[in-house]
Amino acid sequence: MSRSGAYATFYVGNLFFGIPIAIGVEVTKGQEVTPVPLGPKEVAGFFNLRGHIVTAIDMRVRLGLEANVDGPDTVSIFFQDQDSLFALMVDRVGDFTEVTEATFEETPSNLDPNARELIVGVHKLADKLLLILDTQKIVSGISLVQH
C-alpha cells in the first residue's frame, strides 16, 4: 500500500481513518441493510447497490467498539475488493485528503495487535492524526461461513 496519495476520510467514534480512493470509493447515507442470519457480528447485513449485493461491515464492531445503530444517519463507504463489493458503516464522513510520504509514520508497535493488523500507518496532519486502514485485511478477517 502506498504511503502517499488521496484518501477518503471518516470517523468511527472519535477515531479518524482513511482508505485510498484508488480502490473506487463511493459514499451514501441511509441505505437499508438486510440482516444476515447467523452471520459474523462484524457483518451488519447486505445492501442492494444498483443491482449489486454489497456486504456491509459495521466498523464499530470490527474495531472492537460498541455496535452501530443502523438508521437514516448511518453513512456507508463502498469499495471493491477483488470481485466483491463491501460497505464500511461509519459514524460520519470527512473529506478527501491528499497526503505525502513525509507525513507518514509506521503503526506504533505498542498498539493492540488486533488494531495493528488493520492499521497500516499514521499520517500526521496539521490538527489530527489520520489512521490508514488496510481494506484487504478488514474484509479478509470476515467470513460469512460460520464453523
For residue 54, what pLDDT is reported?
A: 92
Q: pLDDT tens, position by position, for the chain (147 residues)? A: 678 899 999 999 899 999 999 888 888 887 889 998 888 989 999 989 889 999 999 999 998 888 766 555 678 999 988 888 999 999 999 999 999 999 999 998 888 887 888 999 999 999 999 999 999 999 986 755 443
Residue with cell 437499508: 32
5-138 to CATH, choices 2.40.50.180, 3.30.2130.10, 3.40.50.970, 2.60.40.10: 2.40.50.180
If we measure between CA atoms, which residue out of 61, 58, 41 comes closest to residue 114? 61
Residue with cell 484487504: 136
Sign of CA dihedral 79, 54, 37, 39: negative
Q: How far apart are CA 37 and CA 50, in angstroms?
A: 23
CB atoms near residue 13 (< 10 Å): 12
